[in-house]
Copies of this chain bind each other. A is one copy, B any other.
């Protein structure tokens, strides 16, 4: 991909995260890059294309980062590592989570793309939970309950930030730590004794709690 095309994407992400996707006009982006609007439209035929391209970039990074649980190996999942990576990604593309519904309303094409994303994520969670259940790290749950745990994982994992914004946690890093804790605490009650002992979930929680007081 040409450099300029990539630049536009990066600057767009930056501005979208800063001022919101809808509130950022194509002129804003062009100005921020010091190029003409015409030039912007040379690379992307409309604003929606930019959003789609960003989402595709996001999805690709997602794929590369997919949890590496191996079906045949009995090992506890490294929650901390996974969430750190997950959060890093979510950070870069946070405007998606935050404006998801408004984006859908404005750009119907984008909806389909987002739907694909959710399917992918769901699949990932399902694999992960099944694996951990199989080897006794996770309590046995029926299909229906598992289904809702998966959806709750997605909801918490992608919508935590708005809560901490409204709770006036201004520091971005702090917010992110709290977001990770949201997920860790959410998972905790589903772990078996073995799970609690052999995974790093509890340690991770302790570590992050210390981080919070350090930041403060």
Residues on A close to B: CB < 8 A?
Answer: 19-20, 22-23, 98-102, 104-106, 111, 114-115, 117-118, 144-145, 148-149, 151-152, 154-156, 159-160, 162-168, 178, 181-182, 185-186, 188-190, 209
- The secondary-structure label for the interface of chain A is helix
- Could you pull out 25 A-B pairs where Cβ atoms are within 8 angstroms? A20-B101, A20-B102, A20-B105, A22-B106, A98-B102, A101-B162, A102-B102, A114-B166, A115-B166, A115-B167, A117-B166, A118-B166, A118-B167, A145-B188, A148-B178, A148-B182, A148-B186, A151-B164, A151-B178, A152-B182, A152-B186, A154-B163, A155-B156, A155-B160, A159-B162
- Measured between beta carbons, the chain B residues less than 8 angstroms from A19 are 105
A2 to B214, CA, bound (A): 52
Whether B101 lies near A148 (C-beta < 8 A) is: no
- Measured between beta carbons, the chain B residues less than 8 angstroms from A145 are 185, 188
Whether B154 lies near A156 (C-beta < 8 A) is: no
Q: Which residue of B lies closest to A97 (CB)?
A: B101
Q: Which residue of B lies closest to A185 (CB)?
A: B148
A117 to B100, CA, bound (A): 21
- Measured between beta carbons, the chain B residues less than 8 angstroms from A156 are 152, 155-156
- Measured between beta carbons, the chain B residues less than 8 angstroms from A188 are 145
Q: Which residue of B lies closest to A206 (CB)?
A: B144
Whether A22 lies near B185 (C-beta < 8 A) is: no
A178 to B181, CA, bound (A): 25
- 5 closest residue pairs by CB, A with B: A189-B189, A20-B105, A159-B159, A98-B101, A148-B185
**Known contacts A99-B101, A115-B168, A185 near B149 by CB under 8 Å:** yes
